[in-house]
Amino acid sequence: MSEWERVASRLAEVNKPTRYTGGEYNTIEKDWNAVDLKVALAFPDVYEIGLSHLGLRILYEMINGHPRMLAERVYAPWKDFQEVLRSEGYPLYALESKRGLKDFDVVGFSLQYELSYSTVLTMLDLAGIPVRSVDRDESDPLVIAGGPCAFNPEPMADFIDLFLIGEGEDVIIELLETIMAGRKQGWDKARMMEELAKLPGVYVPGHFTVEYNADGTIAGIHSVSGHKPVRAVVRDFNHAPSPKRWIVPFMEIVHDRVAYEIQRGCTKGCRFCQAGMIYRPVRERDPQVIMDSLKQLVRDTGYEELSLTSLSSADYSHIRQLLEEACGCFTPAQVNVSLPSLRIDSFSVDLAKTFQSNRKGSLTFAPEAGTERMRRVINKGVTEEDLMVASEAAFRSGWQKLKLYFMLGLPTETEEDLEGIVQLARKVEKLGRQVYPKTNALRITVSVSTFVPKAHTPYQWHRQISVEETREKQRYLQENLRSKVIELNWHDPVLSRMEGIFARGDRRLGEVIYKAWQKGAGFDSWADEFKYECWNEAFAEVGIDPDFYLRERPYDEILPWDHLDSGVSREFLKEENERAKRGILTADCRDNPCTRCGVCFNLGVGPRLVGDGRG
Amino acid sequence: MAVAEYRLCFTKGSSVRFLSHLDMAKTMERALRRADIPLAYSEGFHPHPKMSFGPALAVGISSLEEYLDVETVADIPAEELQERLNRSLPEGLRILAAKRCLKRPKPLNAVINRAVYRLTLETEPSRRPAVMEILEHCMSSDRLEVTRVNKNGQKVVNIRPWLHNLKTEAFDEAGLQVSVTGEIGSNGNLRPDDILQLLPFPVKVRNIVRAEMWHEEHGIVVKPLDLC
């Protein structure tokens, strides 16, 4: 029995064992002896979440497409299987070869949300790799990370050798080729880091020093190497690589479908939205490229559902034609087509009618805020009438379930805005009752999350509301939204608090993460696993007041991520924050003049809309 | 409209032995679609392909002989279906035989009532003769009681009526292979690990394989492929 077979013989003891076996259709298993560089692509959460993530799929196929490299996958094992690995003395392994992560040259983490940080440490530790960068030597893999969290990666600076900021597909091959060349030349880690830091999008936290003022604010961030990290960007998104060998899992995963990115970026300019800032500009793919890819993907996966994804798919220039063509092509073959997000208008409801012949499910609208004033503040120029028209269209088209998304604690929010949420929900309920006077199936789900200010957005200076304030607002909604039809749900305010601390934290939080992890933190985004006491003890031991990171910050304060350039200028963010305070809308540059956010000029890229000649 | 029905016999190898019944259904369905086999679908809002599997296999057990019936809307030679499907299956799953049914067959679950399991066990060499003797003796017992645990609690059941044959064979130093033929289906189920409970001390299970299934009545054995 091989070593791994010994572990496998215990898989019947654990929940969802196919998380750990590999062998899914379309996985790529390359010969270890035929390549010079091995990369483990790691996602710090369970398999069914990690494999649902598009970004790692793109990189997996790009790296494996290189004749001298291979990439394998690894996800965070659930606690039952962690126990098996520990008791069998087998390291955390990649699914393809079953080799421990220590055998790889590079381990690359995708950091999609702050509450996955402690799980990164768990994974490194299970693999027998020292969790802190300074404790790793030449025999350890390089530990790199990317994803939206890399736009303020400071809390993870102690653990990650190098961050990739921005769109990884732009630079990953160049990065890995440099590492391969360096290995051949016998560069040590320091020399390697020096060379890698020259590449676009690369940020080596060890090349920067941070000084603090007596009050805890940052006095200065100094680049030792002189480089200033600038976000990587895909300039030709139309031809940018997208997965062709789409891995088909055995078990059900969170997004159990083919996902195809029809465009990158969103310029709606919602001021709270980090994705809307860090993935600029808008770049659409040609409908023909999309259709060709979809046909190939459906044929080679056998999947029964495909999704035309992007940050705002209803905004794609030719969305109606594309959707109709896709449905015409795939519906007869029993393949469902879907869009992940809808705008609040009857056009979007029409789109939904095209692809959802079954209206038993729900439609989701995200007004985000309760009053028109508040929505102008966040630059979500949706009117109450828009919502009523869209809701009525949805009800009249046969949907009986609507979901409405809101945020609590947005800048300048008053009681009136909370009341606005109640009133909006009530009006939609009334509308629903008019259309469906007799049914019990009518359901309005009101989902509220706590607003978490993020780095590189116009609200990066803004204060985050406290757990107590959040609870008070939630109580208000609960008391005022009692109804058989309305279902209210919300995010755990404590998790939002933690997310906010790390979203705008600095590198002093590394010690807190380390200590909390040592005390047993891990899988923090899983409400049942989250251990608040571990974190509170860690903050106390390190001597850090977490509220320091949630406070409002003046414009002249140095922010922990100020040395990282997202392409969007600080001036633009500031201007947007000021316009927010005055409730002035900023138009989408898709069909309006340039808003001078700076991204096109700073990164040497342009928006691309299909058929408008700007491509 | 379904125009043809096929009965497939396939293996579930060690690498895919942790697939649940549901995982297996999805995996087969997607493989059939990749192979461009024109599946027949049920009517309604949630059309699903008309396919049905034989008796479920416990997670963690591989099999040399599983069965699946599938309906199509086009008449394809069985050999072609088999070949195309084999090219589309993940490693570990392999179609051994495909037969276009001559008439609408009785469901697999209604006809299959015997399953053979092979258990590879490890014992201390000194205990092996005792283990073999206890197991061989089962066939001449009147009652064999085992405890089964389900969500309603524990239950003692007599598995003797479901045990139709049992043979042991020693190999290596400590290895022991046990072949058990048991009842499966609506008249009762012998589980392969039931027999481990009959031993007075724990043994290590190296693996369990379902080796064969058939229909048996009045001592006459008919294989599922001969019943369609």
Six token digits for residue A434: 């008019």
Q: How far is B61 from chain A (nearest CA, A)?
A: 9
Q: What is the pLDDT of residues A557-581, one digit of tens each?
A: 999 999 999 999 999 999 999 999 9
Q: What is the pLDDT of residues A228-283, one digit of tens each?
A: 999 999 999 999 999 999 999 999 999 999 999 999 999 999 999 999 999 999 99
B99 and B167 part of one domain: no
Stretch A480-499: mean pLDDT:
96
Asked if pLDDT for residue A95 goes beyond 80, the answer is: yes
**Residue A2 pLDDT:** 79
**Residue A152 pLDDT:** 98
Asked if pLDDT for residue A7 goes beyond 90, the answer is: yes
For an interface test with A, the pick among B18, B30, B62, B86 (most A C-beta atoms closer than 10 Å) comes out as: B18
- Boundary-marking domain end, from B81, B110, B139: B110
Q: Per-residue confidence of chain B (228 residues) as pLDDT tens digits?
A: 789 999 999 999 999 999 999 999 999 999 999 999 999 999 887 889 999 999 999 999 999 999 999 999 999 999 999 999 999 999 999 999 999 999 899 999 999 999 999 999 998 888 899 999 999 899 999 999 999 888 888 999 999 999 999 999 998 888 899 999 999 999 999 999 899 998 888 888 989 999 999 999 999 999 999 999
Nearest CA in chain B to A13: B60
Stretch A10-29: mean pLDDT:
96
Judging contacts by C-beta atoms under 8 Å, the chain A residues touching residue B43 are: none
Look at chain B and report how many structural domains it folds into: 2
B120 and B146 part of one domain: yes
Q: What is the pLDDT of residues A54-65, one digit of tens each?
A: 999 999 999 999
String of b and e for A352-387 (b: at least 16 CB within 10 Å)?
bebbbeebeeebbbbbbbbbbebbbbbbbbbebebb
- Mean of the per-residue pLDDT values of chain A: 95
Instruction: Select from A72, A205, A104 the least CA-distant residue to A150.
Output: A205
Classify domain A358-492 at the CATH topology level.
Answer: Transcription Regulator spoIIAA (3.30.750)
Q: For residues A417 and A369, is the Cβ–Cβ distance under 8 A?
A: yes
B124 and B218 part of one domain: yes
CA distance A46 to A249: 13
Q: What is the CATH number of the domain that holds B42?
A: 3.30.70.580
Q: What is the pLDDT of residues A272-309, one digit of tens each?
A: 999 999 999 999 999 999 999 999 999 999 999 999 99
Judging contacts by C-beta atoms under 8 Å, the chain B residues touching residue A252 are: 22-23, 26
Instruction: Select from A368, A436, A374, A375 the least CA-distant residue to A405.
Output: A368
Q: How far is B226 from chain A (nearest CA, A)?
A: 30
Please tell me if residue A190 touches chain B, with a CB cutoff of 8 Å.
Answer: no
**Residue A17 pLDDT:** 97
Asked if pLDDT for residue A538 goes beyond 80, the answer is: yes
Which residue bears the tokens 């959040």?
A470
B156 and B105 part of one domain: no
String of b and e for A487-515 (b: at least 16 CB within 10 Å)?
ebebbbbbbbbbbbbbbbbbbbbbbbbbb
Q: What is the CATH number of the domain that holds B136?
A: 3.30.70
B222 and B135 part of one domain: yes
CA distance A534 to A115: 14
- Boundary-marking domain end, from B110, B141, B165: B110
Please tell me if residue A252 touches chain B, with a CB cutoff of 8 Å.
Answer: yes
**Residue B2 pLDDT:** 84
**Residue A237 pLDDT:** 97
Under 8 Å CB-to-CB from A239, ≥6 apart: which residues? A289
**Residue A251 pLDDT:** 97
B55 and B120 part of one domain: no
Nearest CA in chain B to A257: B30
Ranges of each domain in chain A: 3-223, 235-341+565-615, 358-492
B25 and B86 part of one domain: yes
Asked if pLDDT for residue A613 goes beyond 50, the answer is: no
| pLDDT range class, residue A1, cuts 50, 70, 90 | low
Asked if pLDDT for residue A407 goes beyond 50, the answer is: yes
| pLDDT range class, residue A614, cuts 50, 70, 90 | very low
Name the residue range of residue B182's domain.
112-227
Asked if pLDDT for residue A512 goes beyond 60, the answer is: yes
Asked if pLDDT for residue A615 goes beyond 50, the answer is: no
Asked if pLDDT for residue A360 goes beyond 80, the answer is: no
- Boundary-marking domain end, from B68, B88, B110: B110
Q: What is the pLDDT of residues A415-470, one digit of tens each?
A: 999 999 999 999 999 999 999 998 889 999 999 999 999 999 999 999 999 999 99
